[in-house]
Structure 1
Amino acid sequence: MGHHHHHHGELKGRMVISVILNLTITIAEIIGGILSGSLALLSDSIHNFSDSISLLASYFAVRVGERKANEKYTFGYKRAEILVAFINSAVLIGVSLFLLVEAYRRFKNPEPIDGPLMLVVALIGLLANLLSVLLLHDHAHESMNVRSAYLHLMSDTLSSVAVVIGGILIIEWNVTRVDPLVTVLISLYIMGEGYGILKESVEVLMEASPELDLEAIKAEIESIPSVRNAHHFHAWRIGENEVHFECHVEVEDIPISEAQGIIDEVEERLKKYGITHVTIQLEVEKCTDKGIVCHEEKEGD
């Protein structure tokens, strides 16, 4: 437990440093973008600002997620991180669409750009982004929330590389249309990365069943002595790594003293499927519908 708290404390500290770095980059790129006339720098500044907000939100989500369950939130606060991951990815996609529209306008009406200033600011942004990525790299696999923040920073680093290349091309050959082109490439990349997290976070929030072989689970439960049938399955995720499962288990007419043994056996066998919490309703010839999924009949059917 002490190691877990130390680990989370280290993560929170690194997230705070990353927020400060990203806000610094944002201010530098806004000033640099206005002075140089570079849309790519301004687009990168918007991206960095969204990163700052997402990192800040992710930081608070980690803090909230540590709070214990109570009578109002009996499952705890773990979904705060999933909610933030959803918001982060949705914002990323929205910002990308806005930048695509702006890039189209620049393609039609190119504007003069101060290449050297653009390059200097882009290099500062690249170094700061690389530092932020290194700070969160070891924690990126821990949760969807931290992964979404890490992807923000990775996409920022790549976009900074693209802006640096754009700055060099403008200095050497005065190819001003490379600026909106870089913006388009950045935006398309961000949209691709954001969609994956958006899809997964929606699945968790909508309580979609995680990837479980329900037929294998049914067979596993029904192989237990005294079990006749397992049906009416429900599986969902509370957080990214916490899978809950419940079902009805029809048993033979057994003494009630044997019931707990069956429940314990089901819980033990389902651990290998990655299920962390099991709720079993034992019954004897109660349900007429014995399907894996319960299809309740509506009135008048």
Structure 2
Amino acid sequence: MEKHSHEHHHHHDISSISKNKLFFVIIFNFIIALAEVIGGSISGSLSLISDALHNLSDTASLILSYVSIKISEKPKNKAKTYGYKRANILAAFINSAALIGISIFLGVQALEKLTSLKKINANIVIVVALIGLLGNFLSVIILKKGAEKSLNVRSSYLHMLSDAMASLAVIISGVFIKYFAIYWIDSVLTIFINMLILKSSYNILKESINILMQTTPVNLDMDDVKEQLLKIKEIKGVHHFHIWTLDENNIVLEGHIEIDDILVSETRAISDKIEHILNEDFHITHVVIQFESTSCEDNICKI
């Protein structure tokens, strides 16, 4: 006999809030990048122009995040029975991978600049980078709350945080260049900052890959789940268990439960007990259970 039990907890929906915030940050970030391109061209600072390119690439990533949130809001249909929730995970994967690429590119550029003694206008660099820092810091504050609940928004938040630190590095290097004529400081700070960004980006990339590959959540022990279910007196055995993450807020479980040969209507009480344990103890929000009778000969009921 087969019984499908579904229980969904409604989590606080931040998509509309995040979407509006992202739109504001996109416009704001584009203006900052434009200012840095102009400032870098006038001052002759490759550091500012590199930071502008970083900002422009992050603007593209923010647009991707914005679009993915819009897509994720689309209702489910016959082809997409789970809906479009994983659009956010795809965006997080692309954004984190792009940030890793950008960090490596800027790190290589910084190494090449170590021997550069090119004269630049430090005053323009400091002023424009300061504007960039304030703008990026504001973007970080705007996205911080959403980053705690969404992997997609977290990847955008990380982009803005990396831009803020890059702007800070440009300011510090501008000060050292202006007062001490130390040109290599910019490259050293850029390499250090990008090493930190690489670590954070890798963590988001790894998490998004695990979700896309339907990996069992790291904080869930499959054996522990089975052990808790076997404490229900009606359950004689459990097997063919699969647990995976649909998105940041939804964990899915499917499995076979062995019970005595009873009426289908009598399985409702068992289902309620299963759902209660899975929801309360493991935060599993979507449950699909197939009941099997222990009276099956030679285990022919098992798949």
Letter in 2 for 1:22: N
Aligned partners of 1:156, 1:149: CA distance in 2, in Å? 11
DSSP 3-state at the match of 1:227:
coil
Q: 1:216 maps to which residue?
A: 224
Instruction: State whether residues 234 and 245 of structure 1, in contact with CA within 8 Å, keep that contact through their aligned partners in structure 2.
Output: yes
Q: Does 1:160 align with 2:167?
A: yes
Q: Does 1:275 align with 2:278?
A: no
RMSD: 2.2
Q: 2:78 maps to which residue?
A: 71
Q: Does 1:253 align with 2:261?
A: yes
Paired residue total: 288
TM-score, normalised to structure 1, is 0.89
Q: CA deviation at 1:4?
A: 6.1
**After superposition, what is the alpha-carbon deviation per residue over 1:243-301, rounded to whole angstroms, capped at 9, x for unaligned?**
00011111122233322322222112111211001100111246989xxxx9x9xxxxx
Distance 1:287 1:64, change over 3 A: farther
Q: Which runs of 5+ in 1 are unaligned?
A: 297-301
User: Where does 1:176-215 land on structure 2 (aligned, <5 Å)?
Assistant: 176-210=183-217, 211-215=219-223
Distance 1:287 1:122, change over 3 A: farther
Q: 1:44 maps to which residue?
A: 51
Higher relative contact order (CA 8 A, sep 6+): 2
Q: CA deviation at 1:139?
A: 2.2
Which of 117, 120, 142 aligns to 2:124? It is 117
Distance 1:82 1:288, change over 3 A: farther
Instruction: State whether residues 249 and 283 of structure 1, in contact with CA within 8 Å, keep that contact through their aligned partners in structure 2.
Output: yes
Aligned partners of 1:220, 1:155: CA distance in 2, in Å? 43
Q: Does 1:263 align with 2:245?
A: no
User: Where does 1:230-245 land on structure 2 (aligned, <5 Å)?
Assistant: 230-245=238-253
Q: 1:284 maps to which residue?
A: 293
Q: Does 1:94 align with 2:137?
A: no
Q: CA deviation at 1:16?
A: 1.1
DSSP 3-state at the match of 1:232:
strand
Which stretch has the larger CA shift, 197-206 or 173-182?
173-182
Distance 1:288 1:249, change over 3 A: farther
TM-score, normalised to structure 2, is 0.89
Q: 1:299 maps to which residue?
A: none
Task: Point out 4+ residue stretches in structure 1 off by more than 3 angstroms.
Answer: 7-10, 285-289
Which of 28, 35, 41 aligns to 1:28? It is 35
Instruction: State whether residues 115 and 184 of structure 2, in contact with CA within 8 Å, keep that contact through their aligned partners in structure 1.
Output: no
Aligned partners of 2:272, 2:77: CA distance in 1, in Å? 26
Instruction: State whether residues 33 and 52 of structure 2, in contact with CA within 8 Å, keep that contact through their aligned partners in structure 1.
Output: yes
Distance 1:287 1:194, change over 3 A: farther
Q: CA deviation at 1:110?
A: 3.4
Aligned partners of 2:29, 2:235: CA distance in 1, in Å? 58
Distance 1:92 1:189, change over 3 A: same
Instruction: State whether residues 69 and 77 of structure 1, in contact with CA within 8 Å, keep that contact through their aligned partners in structure 2.
Output: yes
Q: Which runs of 5+ in 2 are unaligned?
A: 1-10
Aligned partners of 2:298, 2:177: CA distance in 1, in Å? 73
